Structures are given as C-alpha cells and as structure tokens.
Amino acid sequence: MRIAAARVIVTCPGRNFVTLKVVTDEGVTGVGDATLNGRELAVAAYLREHVVPALIGRDPARIEDTWQYLYKGAYWRRGPVTMTAVAAVDTALWDIKGKVAGLPVYQLLGGRSREGVTVYAHANAATTADVLAEVGRQVERGYRAVRVQTGVPGLATTYGVSAGGRTYEPADAAVPSEATWSTRRYLAHVPSVFRRVREEFGPELMLLHDVHHRLTPIEAARLGRALEPYDLTWMEDPVPAELPEGFRLIRQHTTTPIAVGEVFNSVWDCRQLITEQLIDYVRTTVVHAGGITHLRRIFDLASLYHVRSGSHGATDLSPVCLAAALHVDLSIPNFGLQEHMPHTAETDAVFPHGYRFADGYLHPSEEPGLGVDLDEELAARYPYRAASLPVNRLEDGTLHSW
Ligand code: KDG
Ligand code: MG
C-alpha cells in the first residue's frame, strides 16, 4: 500500500480548523488535526508546500520512520508550526493503520488500561454567583471535574471567561483585541471564589484552575498556597513556560499540584519539568506535540517520574484531535485527566465521530482507526475567517503574557 494523495482542508464551522486527509492507493483514508489557533494558514502552507509532496508514494504503515523523516529531515526541528504539521501526518497514519488492521487505535497502543476517560468541564462566569450556577450545570451534566475561571472585580474582561453568555472562544478578532490585566486584583479575588465553590459542592468534586502563564514564580507560589484549603486537582500554567527553573520556586512553597504543557511541542520542552518532578500533570496533546507517536514518548517519560497526563482539549483542537487523544488516554498507564469543551453542532456535523460522553467519562469510538472523519463537502461551505488570540496589557499599558 502506498500514499496516493494528501489534502489539506481548511474550514470554519464557527472557528477555524485545519485537517490533513491522507489517501492510499487502495482507497483507505486517514485524518489528522493540523489546527494551530490564530496561525492556521502557516501550518496549512507548511503541509501543502513542504510535506505533502514528500508523502506521495511512501508506505503508510511506516509511522515511526515517517515521523523521523519529517522531524530529522527538515533540519529545522521542533516549534509549533513544524510539530503540528508532523502531528497531522502521524495521526492520519495511525488512523490508516487502525483501519487496515480492523482495530480501534487504542488496541494498537496496547489496549484499554481503564474503562473510560475522565474528563473535566469548564465553568466560567464574571461573578461568583454565576460561577456557582455554572459549576452546578456541569455537575448536573455528569462531570466529576470542573475547571473554574472567574471574572476579576475592576477588570473589564478576564481570560477564560465568556462575554455576553456566549460559549467561550478566545480567538475573537482578525487583529488581536486587547485586554487589561492586574495581578494584584486577580490574586486578591480568586481564593474567595474557590472557597465558595468548595462550600457549595463539597469535597468530592475535582476542581482545577488555569492561570494562563500570567504570574511570576513567587506570585504563583502565593496563589498555590492560598488555594491549598480548597484542594485543587491542579493549578495550570502558573508562569510562562519557557523557564523550567521557575517551577522550583513554586514547588518549594506549595503542595497545590501543577499542570503545564499546552504550549509545548516536544519531549525536550517538558524534559526538565518531568525529570526534576517540578510538575504533576503534563498537558501536551496530539495536535501540538508531534502526534500520537511523540505524545506517547512524552507520557512514557512522565510515567517514570510520577507525572500524569492531562491533555489539552479546548475547542480550538478539532474533533480529530479529541478522538486521537481519547485512544492515547485509554491506553497509557499514567492517565490523569482529559480536558473536554464540547464543540458546536456545526463543528460536530463537519467532523462525524463515534466518541461519546457518559457519566463524566468520554469513550473513544470502537470503529477501526480513530473513529472520526471530515465531511469535505460540508467543510467547503464554511470558508476560513481570520481570527487571532487577544493580547494583554497591564493597567499602565505594558504588554503582559496572555
Ligand atoms: O488556543 C489557546 C486555547 O486553546 C487556550 O487558551 C485554552 O488554556 C486553554 C485551556 O486550557 O483550554
Ligand atoms: Mg490552559
């Protein structure tokens, strides 16, 4: 069997997605997510111009060799654009291998290590009363873990909090919109929200919080310590992720578990954090960390150091990525949690899939391969629309991490 064609499909059923569809000379197809939020066309061009021509005629069964060929062969290794493109090819080849074998991909990865994939939902709102109501809705839906984001008094908008009752979608304008940030206001407010959530929902519910890279290590240490009475499952992305040494300081001061990794692209980005046991959850995912092949490599390293997985799963990762993530989640020994933000009805229609949610768990499809596809005719009805992630400034106008 040989690869006969590979198409890059860009579609915007509510938000932009880039998908690679690989077709073999025997008519088997495989799909891979290639979406990099706000930089979609860079990956589409990388694939179309530099990767697809080199795929034609290759043996689709040689997944590892193709991964090495794209990674080492480019000379310019790593980085989000390259690794997202590599991920798309890798994911599509796993899909093809599953279809050829007649097995769901998790079976090729060693089979089931658990009955279902525990997922966490989002509860976000501007006021504490609305946050509590939102947590209640997610608990009613059956989620056992909820990420809580709150508005901050004195700030007009806050990362992770929806505006005007709409579903939260960070990429909001063709040219980045600008928000204002104050660490002092944020640190003064957040612990009081978690106190109320714990009081109302009791000790069982797993609670998480995303700091989104906005603090310094000592500020993050202070927040982690202030949140200890509310027993968080994790505090996510407390500081900008470029400086692994910064996590040592946080660790010295707090037992609140730490999760990091949604912006990481390779095992090299996480190596120090994992081997020095500076984090508890690594949140790399299929689409941005080199596909199923490389994600497994990261999670295998993590498993040696008591670090569990917590894959990113926001709505800018397509149903193809979520489907692939679930096969990995089900099979690895050190699974922690999987993020779940349900996609819109339009997106679900463009990407027909067999994964399903029940009682707080997601279950991957039992179909051969990944159990997800892209309806190309429907996708063509939703043309690309430029959309960027916002930027963030301090109250005096200084640009800050978003
Ligand atoms: O593209 C960026 C989003 O995926 C990100 O802002 C969402 O932080 C996020 C999360 O944890 O889901
Ligand atoms: Mg995050």
CA 329 to CA 101: how far, in whole Å?
A: 20
Q: Of 324, 323, 375, 386, which is closest to residue 12 (Cα–Cα)? A: 386
CA 142 to CA 85: how far, in whole Å?
A: 35
Return the structure tokens found at 288: 């941005």
- Top mutation candidate among 234, 312, 339, 402 for ligand 1, by most atoms within 8 Å of CB: 312
Q: List the residue whose alpha carbon is closest to atom 10 of ligand 1.
A: 314
For the entire predicted model, the pTM comes to 0.97
Task: Classify residue 65 as exposed, middle or buried by CB count within 10 Å of its CB (0-12, 13-18, 19+).
Answer: exposed
Q: Is 262 in the pocket of ligand 1 (CB under 6 A)?
A: yes
Q: Is 84 in the pocket of ligand 1 (CB under 6 A)?
A: no
Determine whether 212 is an active site residue.
yes
Q: List the residue whose alpha carbon is closest to atom 5 of ligand 1.
A: 314
Q: What is the pLDDT of residues 117-131, one digit of tens each?
A: 999 999 999 999 999
pLDDT at 164: 65
Determine whether 122 is an active site residue.
no
Active-site residue, from 122, 209, 212, 294: 212
Domains located in the chain, CATH noted: 3-104 (3.30.390.10), 108-367 (3.20.20.120)
CA 265 to CA 87: how far, in whole Å?
A: 10
**DSSP output for 39-79:** -HHHHHHIIIIIIHHHHTT--TT-HHHHHHHHHHHTSS--S
Segments of the chain with pLDDT less than 70: 163-166
CA 172 to CA 22: how far, in whole Å?
A: 31
Q: List the residue whose alpha carbon is closest to atom 1 of ligand 1.
A: 37
Q: Is 314 in the pocket of ligand 1 (CB under 6 A)?
A: yes
Q: Of 84, 25, 83, which is closest to residue 58 (Cα–Cα)? A: 25
State the closest ligand 1 atom to the C-alpha of 212, by its place in the atom list counted from 1: 8
Q: Which amino acid is at 51?
A: V
**How close is the Cα of 115 to the center of ligand 1, in Å?**
27
CA 33 to CA 19: how far, in whole Å?
A: 5
pLDDT at 138: 98
CA 34 to CA 45: how far, in whole Å?
A: 11
**How close is the Cα of 24 to the center of ligand 1, in Å?**
34
pLDDT at 291: 98
- Top mutation candidate among 237, 262, 281 for ligand 1, by most atoms within 8 Å of CB: 262
Q: Is 367 in the pocket of ligand 1 (CB under 6 A)?
A: no
Q: Is 40 in the pocket of ligand 1 (CB under 6 A)?
A: no
CA 386 to CA 377: how far, in whole Å?
A: 21
**How close is the Cα of 97 to the center of ligand 2, in Å?**
31
**DSSP output for 234-249:** EEE--S-TT-TTHHHH
Active-site residue, from 46, 143, 159, 361: 159
Q: For residue 150, what is the enclosing H or E element?
A: strand 145-150
Ligand nearest to the CA of 120: 1
Q: List the residue whose alpha carbon is closest to atom 11 of ligand 1.
A: 312
**How close is the Cα of 230 to the center of ligand 1, in Å?**
23
pLDDT at 172: 84
Q: List the residue whose alpha carbon is closest to atom 7 of ligand 1.
A: 314
What's the chain's average pLDDT? 97
Ligand nearest to the CA of 168: 1
Q: Is 219 in the pocket of ligand 1 (CB under 6 A)?
A: no
